[in-house]
Amino acid sequence: ERKESIYIDPIKLVGKDLLDLTKNIKRLLGSGHPLLDTVSEYYFSSEGKHIRPLIVLLMSQATSIAPKQCNAAHTEYFQIIDKPLSSSTSSFDVPNNKVTASTLYYPSFSSTGTIILPTQRRLAEIIEMIHTASLFHDDVIDGSETRRNNPSANISFGNKMAILAGDFLLAKASVALARLRNPEVTELLATVIANLVEGEFMQLKNVSSKGTSNTMTTFEYYMEKTYMKTASLIAKSCRAASVLGGSTQEVTEIAYTYGRNIGLAFQLIDDMLDFVVSSKELGKPAGADLKLGLATAPVLYAWEEYPELGPLIKRKFSQEGDEKKARELVYQSKGIEQTKLLAASHCQTAINAILKLPESDARNALIQLSQTVLTRKK
């Protein structure tokens, strides 16, 4: 019963909403402290891929024509989220909490009848803010010097300002999240933030101790870490988008399954690109993972073919020549190919899930996107 899906350019469907994304995020920031503003906005001024918001907006459209829970109320959504967030006071600091008519936040209707709600657009902004907050902190932890072809925030402004900017973004994202007035969505995204920290922690712990727990194989541990640091955000924001649209339980599960598997594939490809693409092409340091002592999928697969990689992994490639040796063995092995195959199988799982939604341009674009995730070069 599977129909051949026609090629749909995802950007064509939600390009307008994506164009507004950065502008809207900057409206959500603003502290009254010019330097804090400059640093917080820093990563929004370079060209990000915006893959997470893109997925959320398409998922919003794709689920808008899927079964809904009865009494899914939409009108209230148009109100409170549009109040400015730019001061450091909350809406409850203002005595007469009057809601003004919204001009910016109206739903966008596509020609094929799918809808993006204002809350769903705000969700896309919130998750890009959370993601960016994690990049500020990640670049400090990794000691990275470049991001999106520019000096990283920690290089431009120092570690202290970079950390504070990440915290500030997270705080502003939390206020915007609270404004959605949806406890389920709040819980989902709060859990995402915890998962990001857990993922980063697992990665650090992985390098600095024995590597695996008693119950998990190294590869299982790596996949769990990958879910925590990358897939959880995409999975739970897909779920949140469909919750905001009033979808049935079944539809929110489909959204989650798609996001989870696309997220896993995305990070697997990220870990593969670290081996096959140059820093110039990536816009950030390439070959970084071995330098950081990290054994990602390509190395773990290569280890199956070349057991002599074991001790190098264990000592985090810390001895003279370890990094070079490990890199050579990865290139000699099927590790890179196998990583891509695993990513492709997660993409297929994502496609199988999304095919359960009614046919729409947005659904086809989400299928198309899984292909882009596999073939991307940066």
- Contacts with Mg ion by CB under 5 A lie at 138, 142
Task: Select 194 or 216, whichever has its Cβ closest to ligand FPP.
Answer: 194
- Which of the choices Mg ion, ligand FPP, none does residue 339 contact, using the CB cut-off of 5 to 8 A by kind? none
For residue 92, the one-letter residue type is: F
Interface residue with ligand FPP, options 80, 141, 171, 277 (CB under 6 A): 141
Label residues 176-215 b or e (16+ Cβ within 10 Å = b): bbbbbebeebeebbeebbebbebbbebbeebbeeebeeee
| 90 within 8 A of 62, measured Cβ to Cβ | no
Nearest Cα to Cα of residue 47 among 249, 256, 284:
284
Rounded distance between C-alpha atoms, residue 371 and residue 51, angstroms:
13
Contact range with ligand FPP by CB under 6 A, out of 84-92, 129-137, 247-255, 368-376 = 129-137
Binding-residue pattern over the window 150 to 189 for ligand FPP, x denoting contact by CB under 6 A: ----------------x---x-------------------
Contact call for residue 50 and ligand FPP (CB under 6 A): no
Nearest Cα to Cα of residue 286 among 301, 304, 270, 298:
270
Label residues 247-274 b or e (16+ Cβ within 10 Å = b): bbeebbebbbbbbbbbbbbbbbbbbbbb
Contact call for residue 122 and ligand FPP (CB under 6 A): no
Interface residue with ligand FPP, options 50, 122, 172, 229 (CB under 6 A): 229
Contact range with ligand FPP by CB under 6 A, out of 44-52, 86-94, 135-143, 343-351 = 135-143
108 forms beta bridges with 116
Min separation Cβ 229 and Mg ion, Å = 8
- Angle, helices 232-244 vs 118-142, to 10°: value is 170
Task: Select 29 or 251, whichever has its Cβ closest to ligand FPP.
Answer: 29
Min separation Cβ 144 and Mg ion, Å = 5
For residue 145, the one-letter residue type is: E
Task: Select 82 or 142, whichever has its Cβ closest to Mg ion.
Answer: 142
Interface residue with ligand FPP, options 50, 52, 137, 260 (CB under 6 A): 137
Contact footprint for ligand FPP (CB under 6 A): 130, 133-134, 137-138, 141-142, 144, 166, 170, 193, 196-197, 199-200, 229-230, 284, 288
